[in-house]
Structure 1
């Protein structure tokens, strides 16, 4: 929705000398307008609803009481009960359910060419805490951006940033499934930064706005070095959104807008170009970097390249081990199995836990990886 340009007519009274009856005289129309359009934000709330609905659907499909021995909140929630906390501390479904609904699993992307998982994983969440945190952030950041730039640009920015985050995550985190909208959210933060830089001249408190935004970004990225947080998705989404901001969030020069909106008879500022030269340069460079980055990254992923083999220190960008925790999310889990008939005995080689499972079909071991992951968690 655009702004209202209805003119306000100012009426003045000019009494004539010796004339008792003053005549109202209408002066030139005085327009009060904002230089840039404002839109009603409806797409971001729609994205929030879609994410929440998909989480509810995931819990319905998960049906913990039917598929697991113990569930959290089974008496109250029924089939919407959560997986045990030791399996999913975020209060959510099982990993197998998320895989079924489109979680990012690099093995399936590489071997079965299921590239669509780079997109679908951004709409799924691992638990209640996960989806609530992301949706609150989306409302806080996304609605303001949609008011300023409209649903088309912000909608595309959100989706493409999410895919960019998934792509970088898939190149460096190949032993775990990945879900969440955090890559897309960091894309919005990256776009805010590039929007501030490319539209620098229209801001009043430039330095304060820049320092505040950088502080918010640094704090959020720093949180990503904690274990069980996919910071590669954050970084990939942020970089994608940063370059997309130079493409989607570019604003015309203020002088050009004033000249276009000048009334007849008024002398506007003479500005020939709609955009400044540096804005056009940044737009072209950003497009080149984005196309090259997505193409190169996708080729590496489909060839099965592990980014950690090319960069021995990059795993520290996602998790830094300390005396308080270990970065187990970066390590592959291995189990030793012994099967006799329909009895399967698994031993986790990392924590040496053992468990005996009774299989409904002795020839069906399709869930072996999930059982091993649960035993080693």
Structure 2
């Protein structure tokens, strides 16, 4: 369970205000509201990891576009001319091939996109991590990086780079595992699963530290609405909602493990007279949530990885799960997605 101190660098002591964050589709709406306020003062860390992740994602996208070199393989294309040709080899694929202003799917696959055959048949398990750092286009990249800025910086300031970094990476990994279990015919890229993990961690952090927040009900329902909206968007075609769901569940469990706060009695122990009985550091329910979440996380990831590398299809074990990722309507068909 998380202790009082971390090894990160910290700033001065400040009053902690409510989170203003969101995931890939609701950043500005939630960022504008102060959801809840912690009733004590505590140290605030300097945020540097999240900005570095943003810079790294942008740098990777630039490298991907350089490798893609749309004009260099124009003789192979039948769908139109490159977009923004003044950018040279950094120009985008035609909109009919990639409407997000980015590289071709073959380039993404070449550089580490998530694809079932590559991971399971060709034993390229590293794609479960590399796909988190790839994006399908400028629009995809900007949406995810803006969301990461709103969510990640505030979390890192409150909990430090170690815990937020662990949640981000493990949530992205969990998202990739779940996506690979259920999707076999398409590639998947992006940091959305990791972002959903941060959102899930926010929710579990609010639950496990429920007694030390004001405006807790408003914060709880705000988070639930945001989660519901973003998961609902995931049922549209070509959106990998399995990754979103896997990342959210992973982050939700990690929040109970890593983001528990000590009781006030423990925090104020240094001001108490000698011989005063000090409360335990955490409440009993926090210990229970910590243990249950840790067990579920380890067992869940282990079982999922075993199923994945045995070549099992998650849809065979959950017939209705396909509706989590896409629901056919009169306007689109989910067959083959």
The TM-score normalised by the length of structure 1 is: 0.77
CA displacement at 1:37 relative to structure 2: 1.8
1:298 matched to 2:308? The reply is no
Contact 1:183-1:234 at 8 Å conserved across structures: yes
CA displacement at 1:34 relative to structure 2: 5.8
The equivalent of 1:323 in structure 2 is 330
Can you give the 5+ residue segments of structure 1 that lack an aligned partner in the other structure?
Answer: 6-32, 331-377
SS of the equivalent of 2:130 reads helix
1:126 matched to 2:136? The reply is yes
CA separation of 1:122 and 1:269: change in aligned 2, threshold 3 A = farther
RCO comparison, higher one (Cα < 8 Å, 6+): 2
CA separation of 1:41 and 1:259: change in aligned 2, threshold 3 A = same
CA separation of 1:34 and 1:203: change in aligned 2, threshold 3 A = closer
Correspondence for 2:125 among 115, 134, 147 = 115
Contact 1:35-1:254 at 8 Å conserved across structures: no
Distance 2:215 2:275 in 1: 26
CA displacement at 1:267 relative to structure 2: 7.7
Distance 2:93 2:178 in 1: 29
SS of the equivalent of 1:274 reads coil
Contact 1:102-1:121 at 8 Å conserved across structures: yes
Correspondence for 1:94 among 104, 110, 115 = 104
CA separation of 1:175 and 1:37: change in aligned 2, threshold 3 A = same
Correspondence for 1:222 among 232, 235, 240 = 232
1:276 matched to 2:275? The reply is no
Q: 248-257 vs 182-191, which deviates more?
A: 248-257
CA displacement at 1:315 relative to structure 2: 0.6
Residue correspondence of structure 1 range 1-377 to structure 2 within 5 A: 1-4=9-12, 35-68=41-74, 69=77, 70-260=80-270, 262=271, 270-330=277-337
Alignment length (residue pairs) = 301
Can you give the 5+ residue segments of structure 2 that lack an aligned partner in the other structure?
Answer: 1-8, 14-38
CA displacement at 1:113 relative to structure 2: 1.3
Distance 1:326 1:184 in 2: 28
Distance 2:105 2:238 in 1: 14
User: 1:294-317 deviations in whole A, cap 9, x for unaligned?
Assistant: 111011010111111222211110
CA displacement at 1:114 relative to structure 2: 0.9
CA separation of 1:205 and 1:74: change in aligned 2, threshold 3 A = closer
CA displacement at 1:96 relative to structure 2: 1.1
